[in-house]
Amino acid sequence: MWTLSGFVDEISPDFTEQCRVASGLGLTHVELRSAWDVNILDLGPARLTTMKETLADHGLQVSSIGSPIGKIFIDEPFPPHLERMRHAAEVAHFFDAPYIRIFSFFLRPGAHPEQHRDEVIDRMRALARVAEEADVVLLHENEKEIYGDVPARCLDIVRSVGSPHLRLAWDPANFVQVGVRPYTDGYAVLRPHLEYVQIKDALAADGTVVTAGKGDGEVARTIRALRHDGFDGFFSLEPHLALGHATGGYSGPDLFRTAWRAFTDLLKTEEIEYA
């Protein structure tokens, strides 16, 4: 049984509406990235408590904290960011979230990834140590323009760090947007480290984000393979159907429902059960 979740800030800035729409779709879990147009790591204790109460009111649990950890340039100071990672772990504990999504640092335009590899790995090891101490699992997302944007460098990160507290999140649209055929080019090498799947698809021609199965993200092939492999985890809707930018995306309630319907229709076609 696969479990559906979603970046519910794509529904609305208002957290109550986020939860209302999510629960109305039958979701049991959500991914927390922002509320009231404020990033989850920048909300104060009172608002975090309000969120926790609202989640409980709607029967929702948290699959992951959709943090911005690792979304700074590799040449920016790291110590303040490491403190932010410690806070992210505290937020994950507050919401009983088993995962925290992270990234492997933006590279300046024209920079060669191999020139920054050692610094990336050192920083990722430091982030993983925080996760180990906090007993949470970090999920590295293959975001565009970071060190780990293609399968080979995603694999390099997770192997080099070598921690069970650093695993991979799979975003097919992001792979498409950097010229990768997700299943064809990445599945076999990354599957042993794959822990979490984000549902977003895109067209290879121009990078336009589309609903699951309508783009070049090889979503159907990937979910068939995951079923064959016995994958048992979260699939988190991140539609980006109305707006996408470096810190997140937006769809609105109707397009979020459209994204949910497209993916659940795909699961039904493949005769895959989900909750």
Mean pLDDT of 140-165: 98
Do the beta carbons of residue 241 and residue 255 sit within 8 Å? yes
Mean pLDDT of 209-236: 97
244 confidence band (pLDDT: 50, 70, 90): low
> 182-202, pLDDT tens digit by residue?
999 999 999 999 999 999 999
246 has a pLDDT exceeding 70: no
Whole-number pLDDT of residue 75 = 97
248 has a pLDDT exceeding 80: no
For residue 5, which of 217, 259, 228, 185 has the smallest C-alpha distance?
259
Whole-number pLDDT of residue 142 = 98
245 confidence band (pLDDT: 50, 70, 90): low
Rounded CA separation 190/104 (Å) = 16
24 confidence band (pLDDT: 50, 70, 90): very high
Mean pLDDT of 10-27: 98
29 confidence band (pLDDT: 50, 70, 90): very high
> 155-185, pLDDT tens digit by residue?
999 999 999 999 999 999 999 999 999 999 9
47 has a pLDDT exceeding 70: yes
247 has a pLDDT exceeding 80: no
DSSP symbol at 106: B
> 1-10, pLDDT tens digit by residue?
899 999 999 9
Cα 102–Cα 107–Cα 113 angle in degrees, nearest 5: 100
What average pLDDT does the structure give for the chain?
Answer: 96
**Backbone torsion region of residue 247, taken as left when φ is above 0, otherwise alpha when ψ lies between -120 and 50, otherwise beta:** alpha
Whole-number pLDDT of residue 249 = 77
Global pTM reads: 0.96
Whole-number pLDDT of residue 242 = 85
Whole-number pLDDT of residue 209 = 95
208 has a pLDDT exceeding 90: yes
Say whether 77 sits in a helix, a strand or coil: coil
